[in-house]
Amino acid sequence: MGIEETIRDVLSCDTQKNAMDFVSFLRENELPVTANDDGGGWAVGGTVGDSKGYMVINGAADFPGPWTVWLNSCDFDDGALADDELKETAWAHASDCGRCHAGWKDCGGGERTIWGKTFERLCHSPLMFTDPDAKTVGNLEKLLLMLSSR
């Protein structure tokens, strides 16, 4: 089943609209969306194992759900122009190691700095957006474009 069909089958209301808008953004910007082998998620902006992010759409009330997007980097260009809202969005979605999945083992995380703010134990996929609203999706798209331009 394709990603759009999964979104229609699993999500509803604003969550469905926001996820569909995000996938439309990916397609319009020619950022690949690649299903993994078990059909449980999609690589964003590349192929599985070599992407800018990862997305799971499962409708679950707990992690990772109902719709979750991770960015695989928080290494934004120090010179990149980012307004306060974009910085705040990144900081608010910095994900501690072990938070990404209820049964996931803590891999220890690592210290990383995002636009001047240091986080102690960030996950290897350091930014996690669970059920983002429309405003957050807009900022997620900006962050993804920054990572894709590198």
Please give the Cα distance from 95 to 126 (Å, whole number). Answer: 5
pLDDT at position 24, please?
97
Q: What whole-number distance in Å separates Cα of residue 41 and Cα of residue 10?
A: 13
pLDDT of residue 88: 92
Domain ranges of the chain: 3-148
Residue closest to 143 by CA, chosen among 130, 127, 120, 125: 127
Measured between alpha carbons, how far is residue 30 from residues 25, 66, 145 in Å?
8, 25, 11
The rounded average pLDDT for each run of 10 residues, N- to C-terminus, in the chain (150 residues) is 91 95 96 83 86 88 81 72 86 76 61 84 82 96 86
pTM: 0.87
Give pLDDT, residue 122.
77
- The pLDDT, as a whole number, for residue 98 is 61
Measured between alpha carbons, how far is 124 from 71 in angstroms, rounded to an integer?
Answer: 9
pLDDT at residue number 148? 84
- At residue 105, the pLDDT reads 61
